[in-house]
Structures are given as structure tokens and as C-alpha cells.
Amino acid sequence: MSKTMRRVGPPLLLLAPSLLLLGVFVYGLIAANFQMSFTDNHTAAQATGQAPAAAVWFDNYTALLATDAFQHSLLNLLLFTAVFLAGTMAMGFGWAWLLEKPVKGEGYFRSIYLFPMAVSFVASGVVWRWLLNSNQDEQASGLNRLFQIIGLDFLQNNWWNNVTFGIIAIAIPAIWQLSGYVMALFLAGFRGIPDELREAARMDGATELQLYRHVLFPQLSPVALSALIIIGHMSLKSFDLIMSISKPANYQTKVPAVDMYVFKSSFDYANAAAVGAILLIIVAAVIIPYLIHTHREEKR
Amino acid sequence: MTTLLEPIGKKTPPERSATSPARYAAGRTARYAMLLLVVIVVLIPVYVLFVTSFKGAGDASPARAWALPTTWTLENWQTAWTTLAPAIGRSLQMVIPSTIISAFLGSLNGFVLARWRFKGADIVFTLILFGMFIPYQAVMIPLNQLVLNLGIPNGIPSLILLHVVYGIPITTLIFRNYYMTVPHSLIEAARMDGAGMLRTYWNVLLPISIPSFVVVLIWQFTNAWNDFLFAVFFSSSSNGPVTVALNNLANGALLQNYGVSMAGALLASLPTLLVYIILGKYFVGGLMSGSVKG
């Protein structure tokens, strides 16, 4: 046994089960998925192997991207992600900022803000479907009724039934569920800033605003980046919440993750795989630079 | 990602405010008012769930949507329980083994990648980590075929396998970050005493790993329990976990019966809520240790 084998061998052996599993289930299947997406496998007979399928390379991709339906999905994804990210970052930062200074009962506030995280999207979808009920005026229930009760009638709307902006209504429960998480990240960020830094800035005569701008924000930026990456990649994969609030085939709220399910359900495996591949490419475009960046940071 | 594992530290001591005491007090009152407002907003859906789950059919009118039940009834809860109980049992059968196995694998990986390093360890770590971020939609079609070819029955058995496999990246991340904080001298001392890799892991690292195990167990338990994506692809309503059963209940024949759906939603959330309440302190750590599957 060579010297390097003796050094590298045992640790690799210990990692072997995990590496084997991930090699097959992540990297192997990604390759297999691309292969499927390059075929004309669109029927149940082909899916079960009873009819032959041929390679068509990028035809599925070009066809998909040319349809209005899929463009609508991509636009929905963009709208959803923008609102979801902006909402959780603003709420999360705001709540952390409120809790950052000494507050009585901090633990209780923190627990309550975080608790929606423990609930599944399917369970919260049940109540949000009711809260986002599109009926108005006499028939109103949910938030529309609440707006009536508190005299904000003009806020009544048809929520996720709006064809253009319906997807934004789905972002509301998503924000409700994950703002606490972003809060926890920011709170940890705030607590990680040494007091001396603030003291020093105050001694130098910095105003509160300058303190935030030049001392606290730069210190919080790694946390903000982590939060953006985590919420962003979750947003791109969003599926549960849309499935439980709206219906899978609902045009208003469709996104690629839902399209993939619909294609799969109708045995159109090639298009399902192509949608999955498109999602992967979008996620990878964000995640790979981030992973390389963290890898370099840790080396330092 | 190491930033994510730092605990939420102690409160900073009260600031010596330059403003007058009166303005300081006003600021504090405003802050508490805002904190309470957030509490109300966060808890509104909980109020709706709770109240509606006890309403009888007579309370169904939209005009009374926000009111308390005229008479409190357990009927919805009974219906929800009969419908969901078998699925809750299946979810437990799925979540317990998959959580334990993926935690153990993650701890082994974390040990090697943090404290028994080799050349290229960081690259291997990054490759493992990538598995956490991939959209599972991008592997679902061939995954279906693979699980079928492996002969693993649809339903709970295949879901156990999937939660183990796709749990490895996050559990590895949590353990690795934790083991990075263990002083290297501890490992060196064990090595000097002639302990090999496995003995070092077993005698030195494992005994101090309990906090990480708690975090990983909470994390994996919650993730696997709440998962819907794998569940909907790899099970049917008759052999699926509770998320599938609840989704069927809420979208099925009882569509208009919000009372039953909401009782069901509360019922299906109880195990994770219990974990959250009992281990709440560690839950924060768990939330901060990385990302979420979904």
C-alpha cells in the first residue's frame, strides 16, 4: 500500500457509503434526467418501455420555452421569488432589529416568531386557503372578511385567483412561514458583532444611522447572503404550498416545479425531465458561485 | 455556511443612551407595541385553525368567519382523527429510522471532513453540500425508475431511503461545522495514544456530539415529517405519510368542510410542534444550521 493510500484510504472508506449514495442519487440521476430530457418520451407506453423513444436533443427545451404556458410559469416564479425574498428579508431583519436590544421576554417573542417554521406547508396551506378565499362583500370570509370588519374594505381582492399577480398571494403564507427563520439568522448576526466595535464607533462620534451603515451592515452582510441563498433556493423549488392552496393544474399559480408534477402525472416524462433540468440550471447558476465563494472564504 | 451555526449569543448589556430618560421610555414602549403587533400577525392563522376546528356545521356562514364557535364541538376532531390516524402511524414509521440513520452517517462524514482530513477534503465536502441545494424535481423522473428497479416498495420503505439519502448533505454540514469547533489537540492526543480513526471517533468525538445529534434529530424529524414532494411522488393515499393524507382530506370529498380540514391540519402538526416546544432551545440552533428541504 502506497503512502498516499494509507493517508487517504481510511477516511475515504468511512465516507464511502455516503459518497456512493450521493454519487448515484444526486450526480448519477442528474445525468440520467438530462438524458431523459433529450428524448421524445411523451406517452405512457414510452414511459413504461413498451414503445421506443428517440433522441431529439434540445427540441423539448426549445418547444417548452416557446409556449405561453411555460413562460407564464417562469414569470410566476420570478414574481414569487422577488416578493418572497423581499418580504422575508424585510420582516426577518425588522424582527431581529426589534429583538436585538435587551427586551423582556425575548425568548417568548423569538419562539412565537419562529413557530410557523415547525408547521408543514401542507398544514399551513389548509388555513391559508381559507384566509385567501376570493369571495368578497356578503360572501367574504378569511382576510377579505377581516378587512371588512376593521373597515379596510378597499383591501379586499381575489387573491390567488388573479391571473397576472395571483402568485404573489401565495408568497404571503411563504413569508409568514419563513420570516422567523431569517430573523434567527439576523439575530445571530447582530449578536456576533463585538460590543467594542459599536463602542468604538460611538466614541468616534458616529450617529445611529452612520453606525448602521458603516459598522453593523457590513458585519451582517455574510448573514444576509446566507439568508438570500437559502430563501432563494427554497423559493425556486416551491411546490407544497402552491399544491395545497391552489390546484396543481391552476394557470394562475403555476410554476415550473408544479408543471413538472403535471407532466409526470400525464406520463410525459421527457417534458417533466426537461422542466426539472431547467430548474436545476436556474438553481445551479446561483448556488455554484456561492459554494465556490464559501469554499474560498473557508480556505482563508 | 459556518456563520450559520453560531449560537444566538447573550443579550448585550443595556446601552447607555444619550437620549433623555423620557424619550428612552417612549422608545421602549413603541418597541414592545411593535413586538406585540408581530405576535398578533403571526398568530392570526393559529386562531383561525383553532376556532374553526371546534365549529359545527351551523357556524359555517361567512359572516361568522372570525367569531368564536356558538357551540364547541369535537366532531371535526373525531372525523380528522379517524381519517388521519393510520397515516400518522406511517409517518412515525418513516421518520424515526430515516432520522437516526441519516444522523449517524452525517456524524461519520462530519468527523472525517473536519478532523481526520485528507487532501481534497474540502472539495468532497462541497460536492456533498451541493446535494442539499438541488431541486429534487431535477432527479425525480429517473429516481422513480431507480427505486422501482431496486425493488423497494412504494410508500414508507422508499420514503425512508430517500430521506436518508437526501438528508446526508445537511447532517454532514451540521456535524462538520460542530466538529470544526473541537480543538485539534484533542484528536492529536488520541492519535499519540495510538488510537486509530474509528477509535478516535468512537471514544473522543461521539461522546461530545450530543448537542449536534439533538439539532440534527430535530432538523431531520421536522423535514421528513413535513415533506410533501417525495411523499406525493412515492406514495398513494393508502400507503402515504400524513402530509399526503392531509392534502387528500383538505382537497377531497370534504372540500367545503373547513372544520375537519383545520382539525386535521392541527393534528398533523402536533408531533413537530411537540418537538418544537420540548426542544425549543435547540430548535433555534437547528434552524440556523443550514437549509430546508422542500
Question: Residues of B with CB below 8 A from A131's CB?
Answer: 44-45, 48
Query: CB-CB: which of A115, A188, A288 is closest to B288?
Result: A188
Number of domains into which chain A is organized = 1
How far apart (Å, rounded) are the C-alpha atoms in residues A283 and A233?
A: 6
CA distance B24 to chain A (A): 12
Question: Residues of A with CB below 8 A from B39's CB?
Answer: 109, 112-113
CB atoms A127 and B66 under 8 Å = no
Residue A5 lies in a domain: no
The average confidence (pLDDT) of chain B is 87
Question: Residues of B with CB below 8 A from A113's CB?
Answer: 38-39, 42
Distances (CA, A) of A252 to A133, A160, A241, A264: 14, 7, 14, 20
| pLDDT value at residue B195 | 85
> How many A×B Cβ pairs under 8 Å?
303
Residue A95 lies in a domain: yes
CB atoms B294 and A239 under 8 Å = yes
Contact B84, B268 (CB under 8 A): yes
| pLDDT value at residue B290 | 46
CA distance A234 to chain B (A): 7
User: For chain B, what are the domain ranges?
Assistant: 83-289
Residue A181 lies in a domain: yes
| pLDDT value at residue B261 | 92
How far apart (Å, rounded) are the C-alpha atoms in residues A89 and A175?
A: 9
pLDDT band of A48, cuts 50, 70, 90 = confident
How far apart (Å, rounded) are the C-alpha atoms in residues A23 and A21?
A: 5
For chain A, count helices (H), then strands (E). Answer: 15, 0
Residue A143 lies in a domain: yes
User: Can you give the CATH number for the domain in which A209 is found?
Assistant: 1.10.3720.10
Asked if the model's pLDDT at residue A103 lies above 50, the reply is yes
CA distance A14 to chain B (A): 7
Query: CB-CB: which of A22, A109, A237 is closest to B128?
Result: A22
How far apart (Å, rounded) are the C-alpha atoms in residues B290 and A149?
A: 41
Phi-psi region of B8 (alpha: psi -120 to 50; beta: other; left: phi over 0): beta
Grid cell, residue B111, equals 468527523
| pLDDT value at residue B4 | 38
| pLDDT value at residue B21 | 76
Bridge partners (DSSP) listed for residue B72: B55
**3-state class of B55 per DSSP?**
strand
| pLDDT value at residue B286 | 58
Contact A122, A239 (CB under 8 A): no
Residue A240: give the domain boundaries. Answer: 21-298
ipTM of the complex: 0.92
Output DSSP code: residue A192: T
Phi-psi region of A194 (alpha: psi -120 to 50; beta: other; left: phi over 0): beta
CB atoms A280 and B269 under 8 Å = no
CB atoms B42 and A140 under 8 Å = no
Residue A2 lies in a domain: no
Which chain B residue's Cα is nearest to A268?
B141
CB atoms B197 and A11 under 8 Å = yes
Question: Residues of A with CB below 8 A from B139's CB?
Answer: 25-26, 29-30, 32-33, 276
Query: CB-CB: which of A181, A240, A260 is closest to B294?
Result: A240
**Which range is least confidently modeled, A217-221, A244-248, B98-102?**
A244-248
**Chain B interface disruption, residue of A18, A34, A262, most B CBs within 10 A:** A18
Look at the block and give the residue holding cell 422608545.
B27
Q: For B83-289, which CATH superfamily applies? A: MetI-like (1.10.3720.10)
CB atoms A191 and B272 under 8 Å = no
Flag residues of chain B having pLDDT under 50.
Answer: 1-7, 10, 12, 17, 290-294
CA distance A206 to chain B (A): 12
Of residues B218, B184, B201, B191, the one with CA closest to residue B288 = B218
Question: Residues of A with CB below 8 A from B38's CB?
Answer: 95, 98, 109, 113
Query: CB-CB: which of A14, A122, A184 is closest to B108?
Result: A14
Question: Residues of A with CB below 8 A from B30's CB?
Answer: none
Of residues A188, A166, A29, A31, the one with CA closest to residue A95 = A188
| pLDDT value at residue B293 | 31
How far apart (Å, rounded) are the C-alpha atoms in residues B136 and B227?
A: 12
How far apart (Å, rounded) are the C-alpha atoms in residues A244 and A250?
A: 12
Q: Which residue would you say has higher pLDDT here, A17 or A294?
A: A17
CA distance B139 to chain A (A): 5
Of residues B258, B33, B109, the one with CA closest to residue A11 = B109
The average confidence (pLDDT) of chain A is 91
**pLDDT tens readout for residues B83-123:** 999 999 999 999 999 999 999 999 999 999 998 888 889 89
Checking A8-12 for CB contacts under 8 A at 24+ apart, the result is: A8/B118, A8/B119, A10/B116, A10/B196, A10/B197, A11/B112, A11/B116, A11/B117, A11/B118, A11/B121, A11/B197, A12/B118
CB atoms A22 and B2 under 8 Å = no
How many CB atoms lie under 10 A from the CB of residue A23? 14
Grid cell, residue A261, equals 408534477
How far apart (Å, rounded) are the C-alpha atoms in residues A27 and A280?
A: 12
Which chain B residue's Cα is nearest to A185?
B288
**Which range is least confidently modeled, A34-38, A158-162, A177-181, A296-300?**
A296-300
pLDDT band of A188, cuts 50, 70, 90 = confident
CB atoms B118 and A11 under 8 Å = yes
Which chain B residue's Cα is nearest to A31?
B139
Bridge partners (DSSP) listed for residue B41: none
Residue A15 lies in a domain: no
**pLDDT tens readout for residues A129-186:** 999 988 888 888 889 999 988 989 889 888 998 888 999 999 999 999 999 999 998 9
**Chain A interface disruption, residue of B83, B137, B275, most A CBs within 10 A:** B137
Residue A13 lies in a domain: no
Which chain A residue's Cα is nearest to B228?
A240
Of residues A175, A180, A276, the one with CA closest to residue A235 = A175
CB atoms B12 and A101 under 8 Å = yes
Count the alpha carbons within 13 Å of A6 in the hemisphere toward its beta carbon.
4
